Amino acid sequence: MKLISYQRVSSRKQNETGDSLNEQRQAIETYCKLYGHEIVYSAYDVASGKSRKSRPAFEECIEMLEHGIAEGIICFDLSRISRSLADLSKMIEKYFTKDLTLISVKE
């Protein structure tokens, strides 16, 4: 499956002390190799997960899905997509219920 890899940290400090962008990317790449998926694009944001408006790379990923460039998005953890369960639920319903896939390595 052709996937877009998406990573996010809330701050530069989290990138140094938490699940860094590099650690997220490595886990995603390992998962894709294990299950035979192809990463066609990789994107990341250093921004809060509270709002999609502050995450231009994520918006770019959604646009790429809408144009058929990939079959889904893979992330390290669903909290990298959204911190709000209500927002995450709306996104899943809007984008990932028919032909598109959302994969979380951790969940």
| pLDDT tens-digit map of 38-77 | 999 999 998 765 555 678 999 999 999 999 999 999 999 9
Distances (CA, A) of 71 to 9, 16, 85: 24, 31, 23
Pick the closest to residue 21 from 42, 4, 7 (CA basis): 7
Q: What is the pLDDT of residue 56?
A: 92
| Of 83 and 17, the one with more pLDDT | 83
Mean pLDDT computed over every residue of the chain: 89
Q: What is the pTM of this model?
A: 0.88
Alpha carbon distance 98, 85 (integer Å):
20
The model's confidence at residue 93, banded by pLDDT at 50, 70 and 90, is very high
The model's confidence at residue 8, banded by pLDDT at 50, 70 and 90, is very high
